[in-house]
Amino acid sequence: MARKWTYTTSLAMVALLIASGCHAADLKIGDAAPDWSGIPGTDGKKHSLSDYKDAKVIVMVFTCNHCPTAVAYQDRLKEFQKDYGKKGVQLIAVNVNNLPADKLDKMKERAEKEKFNFPYIYDSSQKMGRDYGAKTTPHLFVLCKERKVAYIGAMDDNGKADKVKEHYLRDAVDALLAGKKPEKTETRPTGCSVKYEKK
């Protein structure tokens, strides 16, 4: 019986690792944010983390085109950037999926149609996703002024905007802007899995 349980548990763990993209070294709160540069965006420019050195807080959102959950959050992301951009906060949307619906040409169509007010960048190498340990779309990583990770997880507590009770992202950013550590530093992200390719 014990042997059967162990075998079943091992299979479950392997499946979990595969589903998460085998991220054995995920970022932790307080870690320095992995650097990145030369990433193409829907605006036709190349983007680097250093481009946003003047931002008081950076919010990196791993997202994509095809995922219904990601689509459900796009208006909330625009609203967040509208509210916090004037406070020195920069939101950056990152797509690492290489599905046809998520390629750069489709991203450009989505950004133009939805009038994104934040950079939407595409890392076809998927290195950024692996470096940050992104598992879902959306999956958020908040970087403080020193570019250390201050919050990881979901934007809020409900996929339906009118049902939201806890605003994790806004609370975390408000705390950082006030020179404080967020009360809640990690939450469980929900959405479609990031589609990592086998190396």
Structural domains of the chain, with CATH: 23-193 (3.40.30.10)
Q: What pLDDT band is residue 22 in, cutting at 50, 70 and 90?
A: very low
Cα 29 vs. chain centroid, distance in angstroms?
15
- What is the C-alpha separation between 71 and 101, in angstroms, rounded? 13
Q: How far is CA 187 from CA 7, 152, 162, in A?
A: 30, 7, 20
Name residue 77's amino acid.
L
Single-letter amino acid code for the residue at 162: D
User: Mean pLDDT across the chain, nearest whole number?
Assistant: 90
Predicted local confidence at residue 199, as pLDDT: 74
Model confidence at 26, pLDDT cuts 50, 70, 90, reads confident
Q: What is the pLDDT of residues 96-123, one digit of tens each?
A: 999 999 999 999 999 999 999 999 999 9
Residue 84 in 3-state DSSP?
helix
Q: Which of 166, 99, 131, 169 is nearest to 35 (CA)?
A: 131
Q: What span, in angstroms and rounded, lies between the C-alpha atoms of 157 and 10?
A: 31
Predicted TM-score (pTM) of this structure: 0.87
Helix 168-177, helix 68-84: angle, nearest 10:
30
Residue-level pLDDT at 7: 37
pLDDT of residue 120: 98
